[in-house]
């Protein structure tokens, strides 16, 4: 099996947008993500519980894909938070895209707190099979 590594999203965090200071005071965590490659696209699946289509923000700027999600603070009047394993933190993650992704055709859906991004490969990056004819 051959894997076209050239289209792989690089693992280092994106330099520019990620380091810009956030306007919201809430802290942010990086959502866990799966990334897999199809013949004509990359698919990014990210766990963002607490986020829906109104509170997610996806941007592509200078080959950097940024995912942001805002989570509402949970308040229960008259109750005491007695035990906690997670905080209602926002989500923030950025990936560097290779040139082989066509940023104008990126599609995103979110359901049950899971974001699914389809990043189509640019036409030039899709491998073509060349028929060889007898001369």
Partner 1 sequence: MFWPTHSRWGWDWDPWAELRRLQRDFTRLFEGVERGAPVDFPAVNVWTGPDDVIVTAEVPGIEPKNLDVSVQGDTLTIRGNREPDKIKDGESYHRQERGYGQFVRTLTLPHQVDSDKVEAKYEKGVLRLRLPRAASDKPRQIAVTTG
Q: Which of 12, 20, 112, 130 binds partner 1 (CB under 8 A)?
A: 112
Total chain residues near partner 1 (CB under 8 A): 42
Instruction: Name residues contacting partner 1, limited to 90-109 (CB under 8 A).
Output: none
Give dist(CA 122, CA 135) in Å, integer: 32
Q: Which of 51, 65, 106, 117 binds partner 1 (CB under 8 A)?
A: 51
For residue 12, with 0-12 CB atoms within 10 Å meaning exposed, 13-18 middle and 19 or more buried, which class applies? exposed
Q: For partner 1, which is the closer residue by CB, 75 or 133? A: 75
Give dist(CA 112, CA 23) in Å, integer: 26
Closest distance to partner 1 from the beta carbon of 36 (Å): 5
CB distance 44 to 103 below 8 Å: no
User: Applying CB under 8 A, which part among 18-26, 43-51, 97-105, 118-126 lies near partner 1?
Assistant: 43-51
From first CA to last CA, the distance across the chain in angstroms is 31
Q: Verify binding: residue 63, partner 1, rule CB under 8 A.
A: no
The DSSP output letter for 121 is B
Give dist(CA 129, CA 80) in Å, integer: 63
User: Applying CB under 8 A, which part among 13-21, 58-66, 72-80, 118-126 lies near partner 1?
Assistant: 72-80
Specify the 3-state DSSP secondary structure of 129.
Answer: coil
Q: Verify binding: residue 82, partner 1, rule CB under 8 A.
A: yes
Summarize as ranges the residues that interact with partner 1 (CB under 8 A): 1, 3, 8-9, 11, 27, 29-30, 32-39, 42-43, 45, 47-52, 74, 76, 78-87, 89, 111-114
């Amino acid at each position: 099996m051959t894997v076209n590594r050239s289209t792989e999203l690089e693992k280092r965090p994106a330099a520019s947008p990620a380091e810009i200071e956030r306007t919201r005071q809430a802290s942010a965590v990086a959502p866990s993500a799966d990334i897999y490659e199809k013949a004509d696209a990359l698919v990014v699946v990210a766990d963002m519980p607490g986020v829906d289509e109104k509170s997610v923000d996806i941007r592509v700027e200078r080959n950097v894909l940024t995912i942001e999600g805002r989570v509402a603070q949970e308040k229960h009047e008259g109750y005491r938070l007695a035990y906690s394993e997670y905080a209602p933190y926002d989500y923030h993650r950025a990936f560097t895209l290779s040139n082989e992704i066509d940023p104008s055709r990126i599609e995103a859906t979110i359901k049950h707190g899971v974001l699914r991004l389809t990043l189509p490969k640019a036409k030039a990056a899709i491998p073509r099979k060349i028929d060889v004819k007898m001369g």
